[in-house]
């Protein structure tokens, strides 16, 4: 390839923007950030990252809107090739003129990724289209049913993308590139999987590559770069989760000093809050203690949040995390019914979940709880139990979702066995707030929507009320005098917008 042809454009497909113009993914996508860093370090290619789901600081998502008018807007936008968002995507592709376009896709935004892939081929049939991300890792060769997609990357992609670009550079057959599925003539070839990485300290820091690779970098809020990770992998086996298809169940760790070095870089750039994007934070107590100690001693003035498991919460651990700078914990509860919790392999009880919540609030940390409704085993009674649990838990934010069966998960196979989905089921047209979701054996779809309406309205009311409480807390009002009203207004705006 000529030097001019050695360009790869990595795209986060639009999704939230299809629901509403003021919804936006206000972040530098971590998966694409790591790929871009790996390419810059290991391949003589020019790389650009384009987050097509970013439209500037957005308003918080309202569950009721997302599950009604928003979903209607989403479906219309997917079908309307003249919509402004698709014109924007086409303009970016034509402006950068890449030889390769890489798309990252979750199941819920794969339909959008396919539209982008088709657009690429219309612009230039010779552009190669590569798709990776969670959906690609879960379904593999099925990705190539779309004729606009040339290569599927499964699992971790940092090493795979460098080898893949090298092979394309040489015009070589892709048979030696572990972790890819590709076409050879009319045949789909699935190469052996690539072994998981263990030296995670060798990965680049996303915030360091962002200025050079992220399109429209200067328009992003500072908070777009606050997400980091300390581990990859999750040892739990929740029925509905496909994480192990990507990261595996064996947890791999970055060194505490390496994580602290990244946080110091973010602090130097003006960030005072970071978020651990790990699937599960705090799996190993000794590592958690070492990481908290490193942050406490090396990253003064930085607060952080994370997501963890009910079974990992106890008083000593919460106090350790708080001393290390933790200010917010996200906790997956999912159901308020113990039978459902057993059925989905959550390995908790509602009593243990509420006790963990009390422990977190006792330490005066912010608490976000995740609840999911509509499991295959759901009944009106178990749904009522979940609603009661939502009301009982003392938390700052409730994240509500509707069960969605993802391919190659235990939940997906269960739904097939129960006759809840058929051979023609297209999981890419469903998401966790889709009004079309109803995979309950015992509750008909119309009745299911009737039951969810009051729950969704209450979740929205509660989250709005809690945002306002945080804005007008004593701490905020006190800091108004310390910071000056201009800075205080900016703080209030960030809370309102959820950024």
Q: In the prediction, which pLDDT does 499 show?
A: 44
Q: In the prediction, which pLDDT does 99 show?
A: 97
375 and 287 in one domain? yes
Q: What angle do the packed helices 445-471 and 380-392 form, to 10 degrees? A: 0
234 and 126 in one domain? no
Q: Which of 171, 190, 209 is the last residue of a domain?
A: 190
Torsion of CA 49, 82, 424, 105, to 10 degrees: 10
| Low-confidence residues in the chain, pLDDT < 50 | 2-3, 474, 477, 479-483, 496-499
184 and 241 in one domain? no
Residue 50's nearest CA partner among 83, 93, 82 is 93
**Which residue's structure tokens are 């698709």?**
86
363 and 315 in one domain? yes
Residue 79, in any domain of the structure: yes
Residue 105, in any domain of the structure: yes
Q: In the prediction, which pLDDT does 490 show?
A: 55
User: Mean pLDDT for the chain?
Assistant: 91
List, in order, residues 6 or more apart from 446 with CB less than 8 Å away.
none
Domain total in the chain: 2
Joined together, the tokens standing for residue 335 give 């159901």
Q: Which of 190, 216, 238 is the last residue of a domain?
A: 190
240 and 156 in one domain? no
179 and 104 in one domain? yes
From start to end of 21-150, where are the E strands?
A: 46-51, 100-104, 128-132
233 and 162 in one domain? no
Q: In the prediction, which pLDDT does 246 show?
A: 77
Contact 232, 284 (CB under 8 A): no
Q: In the prediction, which pLDDT does 370 show?
A: 97
186 and 230 in one domain? no
**Which residue's structure tokens are 């010779």?**
126
230 and 183 in one domain? no
DSSP 60: P
The residue range of the domain holding 276 is 226-443
Exposure pattern of 279-300 as b/e (b: 16+ CB <10 Å)? Answer: bbbbbeeebbbbbbebbeebbe
15 and 97 in one domain? yes
Please report the DSSP string for 140-152 in residue order.
GGGGGGSTT--EE
Q: Which of 424, 443, 462 is the last residue of a domain?
A: 443
3-state class (DSSP) for residue 333: strand
CA distances to 30, 85, 161 from 277, in Å: 9, 28, 22
Residue 470, in any domain of the structure: no
Q: How far is CA 23 from the centre of its chain?
A: 15
428 and 357 in one domain? yes
Residue 200, in any domain of the structure: no
Exposure pattern of 333-358 as b/e (b: 16+ CB <10 Å)? Answer: bbbbbbebbebbebebebebbbebbe
171 and 274 in one domain? no
Residue 483, in any domain of the structure: no
List, in order, residues 6 or more apart from 350 with CB less than 8 Å away.
333, 335, 336, 337, 338, 341, 385, 389
CATH number at residue 58: 3.40.50.280
Q: Which stretch of DSSP H or E encloses residue 183?
A: strand 180-184
Rounded to whole angstroms, how far apart are CA atoms 260 and 358?
Answer: 29
Q: In the prediction, which pLDDT does 498 show?
A: 46
Residue 154, in any domain of the structure: yes
Joined together, the tokens standing for residue 470 give 């945080």
Residue 473, in any domain of the structure: no
Report percent pLDDT > 90 for the chain.
81
Residue 482, in any domain of the structure: no
List, in order, residues 6 or more apart from 213 with CB less than 8 Å away.
33, 36, 40, 47, 48, 49
Rounded to whole angstroms, how far apart are CA atoms 473 and 288?
Answer: 30
Please report the DSSP string for 404-454 in residue order.
-PPTTSHHHHHHHHTTSS-TT--GGG--TT-TT----SSS-HHHHHHHHHH
CATH number at residue 275: 3.20.20.70
């Amino acid at each position: 390839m000529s030097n001019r042809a050695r360009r790869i454009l990595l795209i986060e497909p639009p999704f939230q923007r299809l629901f509403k113009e003021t919804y936006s993914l206000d972040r530098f996508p971590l998966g694409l950030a790591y790929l871009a860093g790996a390419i810059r370090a290991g391949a003589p290619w020019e790389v650009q990252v384009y987050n097509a789901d970013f439209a500037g600081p957005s308003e918080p998502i309202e569950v009721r809107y997302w599950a009604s008018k928003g979903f209607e807007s989403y479906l219309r936008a997917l079908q309307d090739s003249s919509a402004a968002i698709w014109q924007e995507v086409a303009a970016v592709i034509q402006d950068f003129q890449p030889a390769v376009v890489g798309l990252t896709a979750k199941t819920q935004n794969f339909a959008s990724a396919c539209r982008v892939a088709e657009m690429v081929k219309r612009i230039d049939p010779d552009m190669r289209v590569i798709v990776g991300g969670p959906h690609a890792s879960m379904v593999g060769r099925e990705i190539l049913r779309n004729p606009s997609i040339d290569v599927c990357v499964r699992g971790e992609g940092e090493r795979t993308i460098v080898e893949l670009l090298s092979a394309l550079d040489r015009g070589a057959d892709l048979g030696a590139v572990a972790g890819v599925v590709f076409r050879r003539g009319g045949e789909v070839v699935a190469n052996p999987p690539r072994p998981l990485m263990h030296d995670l300290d060798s990965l680049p820091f996303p915030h360091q590559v962002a200025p050079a690779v992220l399109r429209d970098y200067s328009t992003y809020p500072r908070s777009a770069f606050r997400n980091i990770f300390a581990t990859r992998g999750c040892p739990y086996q929740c029925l509905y989760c496909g994480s192990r298809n990507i990261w595996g169940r064996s947890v791999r760790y970055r060194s505490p000093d390496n994580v602290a070095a990244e946080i110091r870089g973010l602090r130097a750039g003006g960030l005072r809050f970071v978020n651990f994007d790990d699937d599960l934070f705090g799996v190993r107590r000794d590592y958690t203690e070492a990481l908290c100690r490193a942050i406490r001693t090396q990253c003064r003035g930085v607060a952080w949040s994370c997501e963890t498991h009910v079974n990992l919460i106890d008083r000593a651990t919460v106090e350790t995390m708080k001393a290390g700078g933790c200010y917010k914990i996200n906790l997956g509860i999912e159901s308020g019914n113990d039978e459902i919790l057993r059925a989905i392999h959550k390995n908790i009880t509602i009593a243990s979940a509420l006790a963990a919540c009390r422990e977190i609030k006792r330490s005066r940390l912010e608490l976000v709880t995740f609840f999911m409704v509509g499991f295959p085993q759901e009944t009106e009674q178990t749904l009522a139990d979940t609603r009661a649990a939502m009301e009982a838990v003392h938390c700052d934010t409730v994240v509500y979702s509707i069960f969605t069966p993802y391919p190659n998960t235990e939940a997906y196979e269960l739904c097939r066995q129960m006759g809840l989905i058929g051979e023609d089921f297209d999981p890419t047209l469903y998401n966790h707030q889709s009004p079309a979701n109803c995979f309950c054996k015992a509750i008909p779809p119309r009745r299911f929507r009737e039951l969810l309406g009051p729950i969704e309205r209450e979740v929205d009311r509660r989250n709005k009320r809690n945002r306002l409480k945080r804005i007008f807390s004593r701490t905020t009002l006190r800091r108004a005098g310390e910071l000056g009203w201009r800075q205080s207004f900016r703080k209030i705006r960030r809370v309102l917008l959820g950024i």
